[in-house]
Chain A
Amino acid sequence: MTSTAMPTAGQHGLVAHSDGAFVPVQTRSERFRSVNVEDFAPVSGREHEWKLSPVAAFADLTGGELDGSRLTIETTDVPGISFSYIPRDDARVGTAGTPEERASANAWSTFEEALLVSVTGEDEKIAVVTRTALGDTPRAAHTVIEAAPNSRGFVVLAGTGAARLSENVEILVGAGASLTVVSLQEWDDEAVHLSSQFARLGRDSFLKHIVVSLGGKVVRVNPSTHLAEQGADIEALGLYFADAGQHLEQQVYVHHDAPHTKSRVTYKGALQGAGARTVWIGDVLIGNAAVGTDSYEQNRNLVLTEGTRADSVPNLEIETGDIEGAGHASATGRFDDEQLFYLMARGIREDEARRLVVRGFLTDIVQKIGSADLEARLTAAIEAELEGR
Chain B
Amino acid sequence: MSVLEIKNLHVNVETEQGTREILRGVDLVINEGEIHAIMGPNGSGKSTLAYTIAGHPKYQVVEGEILLDGENVLEMSVDERARAGVFLAMQYPVEIPGVTVTNFLRTAKTAIDGEAPAIRGWIKDVRESMSNLKMDSAFAERNVNEGFSGGEKKRNEILQLELLKPKFAVLDETDSGLDVDALKIVSEGVNRAHANTGLGVLLITHYTRILRYIKPDFVHVFVAGRIAEQGGAELADRLEEEGYDRYQVAESAAEAVPAE
> Which residues of chain A are near B87, meaning CB under 8 Å?
345
* Distance A350 CA – B111 CA, assembled complex (angstroms): 11
A315 to B78, CA, bound (A): 43
B residues in contact with A337, CB < 8 Å: 57
Cβ-defined contact, A344 with B99, below 8 A: no
Chain B neighbourhood of A363, CB < 8 A:
98
A350 to B82, CA, bound (A): 12
Q: Size range of the interface on A?
A: 20 to 34
Query: For residues 2 through 30 of chain B, which have their beta carbon under 8 Å from a beta carbon of chain A?
Result: none
A28 on the B face (CB < 8 A): no
Determine if B77 and A350 form an interchain contact, defined as CB atoms under 8 angstroms apart: yes
Provide the residues of chain A in CB contact with B96, threshold 8 Å: 339, 342-343, 356-357, 360
Query: Per-residue 0/1 for B25-58: is the Cβ within 8 Å of any A Cβ (1 yes, 0 no)?
Result: 0000000000000000000000000000011110
Check: A348 CB closer than 8 A to any chain B CB. Answer: yes
Q: Are B107 and A348 in contact (CB under 8 A)?
A: yes
A223 to B131 Cα, complex, angstroms? 49
Cα distance, A24 to B32, chains bound together (Å) = 74
Any chain A CB within 8 A of the CB of B108?
Answer: yes
A356 touches which of B78, B99, B160 (Cβ 8 Å): B99
User: On chain B, which size bracket covers the interface?
Assistant: 20 to 34
A338 part of interface (Cβ distance < 8 Å): yes
Rounded to whole Å, the gap between the CB of A168 and the closest CB of chain B is 35
| In the complex with contacts A360-B96, A363-B98, A348-B79 CB distance below 8 A | yes
Q: Enumerate chain A residues within 8 angstroms of B79, measured Cβ to Cβ.
A: 344-345, 347-350, 353
Which chain A residues border B54 with CB–CB below 8 Å? 341, 345
Complex formed: what's the CA distance from A350 to B78 in Å? Answer: 9
Enumerate chain B residues within 8 angstroms of A124, measured Cβ to Cβ: none
- Which single residue of chain B is at the shortest CB-CB distance from A338? B94
Which residues of B are found within 8 Å of A362, using beta-carbon distances? 98
Using a CB–CB distance below 8 Å, which chain B residues touch chain A? 54-57, 77-79, 81-83, 87-88, 90, 93-99, 103-104, 107-108, 111-112, 143, 160, 164
Residues of A within 8 A of B (CB): 336-339, 341-350, 352-353, 356-357, 359-364
